[in-house]
Amino acid sequence: MAQDGARRVLAGVDAAARRLGLSPGMSAAHAGALVPGLHLVPAAPEADAAALERLGLWCQRYAPIVAIDPPDGLLIDVAGAAHLFGGEASLLTDLSARLERTGIAARLALADTPGCAWALARFGAGGIVPPGGAAQALAPLPMAALRLGLEALRGLRDVGLTRVGQLVDKPRAALRLRFGPELLFRLDRALGREPEPLTALAAPETPRVALRFAEPVGARESLERVTADLCARLVPELERRGLGTRRLDLVFTRVDRLDQAIRIGTARPSRDAAHLARLLAERLALVDPGFGIEEAVLTASRVEPLAETQESHLASHLAAGPQVPDLAALVDTLLVRLGAARVYRLAPVESDLPERAVRRVPALAAPLGAVWPADLPRPVRLLAPPEPVSAVAEIPDAPPLFFVWRNIRHRIARADGPERILGEWWVAEAETDLTRDYYRVETEDGERFWLFRDGPMEAQGRWWLHGLGEA
Residues that bind another protein (CB under 8 A): 317-318, 320-321, 323-327, 329-331, 333-334, 337-338, 341-348, 354, 357-358, 363, 367-372, 374, 376-384, 399, 413-416, 440, 442, 444-448, 467-471
- 198 or 404: whose CB is closer to another protein? 404
CA dihedral 209, 213, 214, 215 (to 10 degrees): 180
User: Minimum distance from CB of 126 to another protein (Å)?
Assistant: 32
Q: Are 300 and 235 in contact (CB under 8 A)?
A: no
Helices (H), 61-216: 88-102, 114-123, 134-138, 150-158, 172-179, 181-191
- 15 or 285: whose CB is closer to another protein? 285
Beta strands in 190-242 (DSSP E): 208-217
- 257 or 414: whose CB is closer to another protein? 414
**What is d(CA 78, CA 114) in angstroms, rounded to the nearest whole number?**
11
User: Minimum distance from CB of 470 to another protein (Å)?
Assistant: 6
Q: Are 356 and 428 in contact (CB under 8 A)?
A: no
Task: Kindly state the helix (H) or strand (E) to which residue 223 belongs, with its residue range.
Answer: helix 220-241
- 53 or 470: whose CB is closer to another protein? 470
User: Minimum distance from CB of 416 to another protein (Å)?
Assistant: 4
User: Minimum distance from CB of 451 to another protein (Å)?
Assistant: 13
- 105 or 395: whose CB is closer to another protein? 395
- 229 or 442: whose CB is closer to another protein? 442
User: Minimum distance from CB of 270 to another protein (Å)?
Assistant: 15
User: Minimum distance from CB of 56 to another protein (Å)?
Assistant: 35
User: Minimum distance from CB of 153 to another protein (Å)?
Assistant: 51
- 118 or 405: whose CB is closer to another protein? 405
Main-chain dihedrals φ then ψ at residue 107, nearest 5 degrees: -120, 135
- 175 or 363: whose CB is closer to another protein? 363
Write the DSSP symbol of residue 380: S
**What is d(CA 153, CA 163) in angstroms, rounded to the nearest whole number?**
11
Q: Are 436 and 463 in contact (CB under 8 A)?
A: no
User: Minimum distance from CB of 179 to another protein (Å)?
Assistant: 52
Q: Residues with Cβ < 8 Å from 168, sequence gap 6 or more?
A: 135, 139
User: Minimum distance from CB of 370 to another protein (Å)?
Assistant: 8
Inter-CA distances, 357 with 125, 348, 368, 371, 449, Å: 41, 6, 15, 11, 19
- 300 or 412: whose CB is closer to another protein? 412
Q: Are 306 and 243 in contact (CB under 8 A)?
A: yes
In the three-class reduction of DSSP (H, G, I as helix; E, B as strand; rest coil), residue 439 is classed as strand
**What is d(CA 197, CA 258) in angstroms, rounded to the nearest whole number?**
5
